[in-house]
A = this chain, B = another copy of it.
Amino acid sequence: MQYVNFDKTAAYRQLADYAASWKGFDFRAALDVDRVRKCQAIMAGGLTYSWAAKAVDDGALKLLKALADEQELIAKYKALLDGEVMNTGEKRKVLHQLSRGEQGQPVVENGKNIGEFYRGELRRFCEFSEHVHSGKLKGATGRAFTTVVQIGIGGSDLGPRAMYLALENWAAAGGKKKLDAKFISNVDPDDASAIMASVPLEQSLFVLVSKSGTTQETLANELFVKDKLQKAGLDSAKHVVAVTSETSPLARNPAYLDSFYIDDYIGGRYSSSSAVGGCVLSLAFGADAFKEFLAGAANADRLALEPDILKNAALLDALIGVWERNFLGYPYTAVLPYSQALSRFPAHLQQLDMESNGKRVNRSGEPIAYNTGPVVFGEPGTNGQHSFYQLLHQGTSAVPLQFIGFAESQRGDDVTVDGSVSQTKLKANLAAQIVAFAKGQTDADLNRDFPGGRPSSLIWGKRLDPAALGSLLAHYENKVMFQGFVWNINSFDQEGVQLGKILTKKVLAGNSGDSALDEYSRILGV
C-alpha cells in the first residue's frame, strides 16, 4: 500500500481538469424519476442512500472510482480492520469497528486478543445493566435505580447523548425504556448543578467516562457529583461506575461500584459502540437494544468493504464529499434529519467529522496544499425550514446538504389535519425540499427566484430503530475514514485540542507568560 498526498495522485489532476470545464449540473433537466431510481445504494439496518440530487455525472463518478482505486481506499480500510497502526501521530491501531464485529483478521497484541477483550467488556456491562434492571443492584439506601447520569465530555458525551435521544421514543413506545438518562458534560458548574437538582439522588446511577482518567471537566464534575451524594448521606461507591482505560487512575478503584474498560484504539468520537456508549445505552434501553444497535453498525462496516463505489454508500458518500470540497469548492455541509429523535445527531457528526478531518498536515506530519474536512452543522427539519433554510435557498453561497428521513414515526402517535397525519406532512416537506433545492424556480421577481443547484443526498429507512441507528452511525464514521484516506491525513488524533489545555493550565497556575492572556483572565475574573 502507498500513502500519497491527494494532490500527487493522477486522479486529483484528472478531477481538477474535469472540474475546470464543469458547467454545473443541470438538475432541472436531469433529476427525474429514472435518476432517483438509479442513484441508490443499499445500506445496513434497512436504510438506503440516495445521491440522485448530488451534482455528479457519470464522468465525475468514473474519476471518483479511479480515485478510490488509486488511493487504495478499501485496502486501507482492510488494513485498519486488521490492526495496522493507522493513527500514525499517536502510533495506535484504530479498532472502533472491532467493538461491534470482527470484519478483519483477529487483532492480537502481546498475546491479548483485542476483539475478545471488547466482547468481554460488552458482556460485563450488559450483565451489569441486567442486574440494575432486575433490582439485584440497588442504590445505597436499597432503592432501585430509575435514572442513569453520564458524566463525560466530547466523545464521551455527544455520541452517547445523540444515540440516547435517538432511541428514547423508540424505547418508550415499545415498552423498552428501563431508565431515564441525563448527561453532565460542561465544566460550567450550572450544568452539573441543574442536573443534580433534577434527578432523584437515591435512585441515580452515575457513569463516569474518561479514557485517560485525567479529563479536567470530567474530574471536576465527578467531584461535584460525589459532593452532592455525600451531602445526601449516600455512599458514592454504590452510585458511580467508571468507564475508562485499564491504565487510568479510575481503573480497578474501590471508589466505584464497577469499572468497564476501553483502550487507546477507540477514539472518543468513535466510542459510541464501545462501553462509552454501551454502558449508558444498555442501562437506559436494555442490553438487547444495544446489541441490535451494534449489529446495525457491524453490518454497515461489512458493506463498507464493497469495492464497487456504487454499491458502497459510505465510500460513495465520501467520494462525493471530496468532489464537493476540493473541486466544487464548498467549505461546509449541512446535516438535516427530518426526525426530532435525531436532534443532536448533527452535533455528534460535527465532532466526528470536524475533529477527524480538520487537519492541515498529512499522516506523516508534512504540510498539505489542499482543503480537508468541511465545517459541519445542522438542525432537524422541519424546524430548520423556518430558520436558516433562507440562506440555503437564496444565499450567495450554496451549501451541500445531507437529508435523513423515515417512513414511520417512532411513537406511532399522530393526528390527522387537512387530510394527512403529521408524519406524512414531515415526509412531504422533506421530498419537497430536495427538489426545491435542486431545481429552484424561476420568477420574474428576483426576490422570489430560486436558483436551485443546491446538491443534497438522502438517507432514508422505514423507522429509526437501534439497527438503523447503528447503521447510520457507522455510515458516517466510515465516510469520514474514507475521506481521511483520500486526503492522506490521520483522522484519528486531535492534537488541535492540546494548546488550549496547556494555556488553561498555565492560567490556573498563575503563570501564563502572556500579557494579553493575563488581561483576558483579569477581565473575566479568573
Contact = CB atoms under 8 A, between A and B. Distances in A.
Contacts of A1: none
A187 to B, nearest CB: 5
A1 B28 CA distance: 42
A354 interface: yes
B520 A434 contact: yes
B332 A428 contact: no
Contact of A447 (B48, B365, B383, B393): B365
Q: Which of A31, A427, A449, A499 has the most CB of B within 10 A?
A: A499
B187 A425 contact: yes
Given A219-B417, A415-B220, A89 B447 contact: yes
Given A157-B383, A373-B395, A389 B224 contact: no
A336 to B, nearest CB: 12
A60 interface: no
A163 interface: no
Q: Which of A351, A415, A431 has the most CB of B within 10 A?
A: A431
B394 A358 contact: yes
Interface in A477-498: 490, 493-498
A497 B389 contact: yes
Interface string A28-69: 000111011100000000001010100000000000000000
B411 A193 contact: yes
B524 A405 contact: yes
Interface residues of A, number: 155
Nearest to A155: B386
A489 to B, nearest CB: 10
A373 B399 CA distance: 13
Q: Which of A52, A371, A450 has the most CB of B within 10 A?
A: A450
A425 B520 contact: no
A461 B191 CA distance: 19
A187 B188 CA distance: 33
Interface stretch (A13-21, A72-80, A301-309, A503-511): A503-511
A88 to B, nearest CB: 9
Interface in A304-327: none
Given A194-B172, A516-B36, A355 B390 contact: yes
A387 B354 contact: yes
A215 to B, nearest CB: 8
B388 A351 contact: yes
A385 to B, nearest CB: 6
Contact of A523 (B36, B385, B507): B36
A375 interface: yes
A372 interface: yes
Interface string A376-388: 1101111101111
Contact of A507 (B157, B370, B431): B431
Q: Which of A216, A351, A366, A435 has the most CB of B within 10 A?
A: A435
B391 A460 contact: no
Interface stretch (A108-116, A141-149, A200-208, A337-345): A337-345
A377 B375 contact: yes
A525 to B, nearest CB: 4
A268 interface: yes
Interface string A417-435: 1111111111111111111
B390 A524 contact: no
A438 B516 CA distance: 11
A524 B428 CA distance: 8
Given A33-B518, A397-B371, A446-B361, A389 B500 contact: yes
A458 interface: yes
Given A393-B499, A520-B458, A186 B220 contact: no
A331 interface: yes
A189 interface: yes
Contact of A332 (B169, B375, B508, B524): B375
A520 B273 CA distance: 32
5 A-B pairs closest in CB distance: A358-B391, A154-B386, A432-B503, A377-B377, A407-B525
Given A188-B423, A189-B426, 19 more contacts: A36-B520, A185-B383, A187-B425, A190-B413, A331-B332, A361-B394, A365-B446, A375-B397, A376-B388, A392-B496, A428-B504, A432-B500, A432-B504, A432-B506, A432-B507, A433-B503, A436-B499, A440-B499, A450-B496
13 contacts: A33-B518, A192-B422, A331-B332, A350-B379, A355-B390, A355-B391, A358-B392, A377-B377, A390-B494, A424-B508, A425-B504, A427-B525, A435-B517
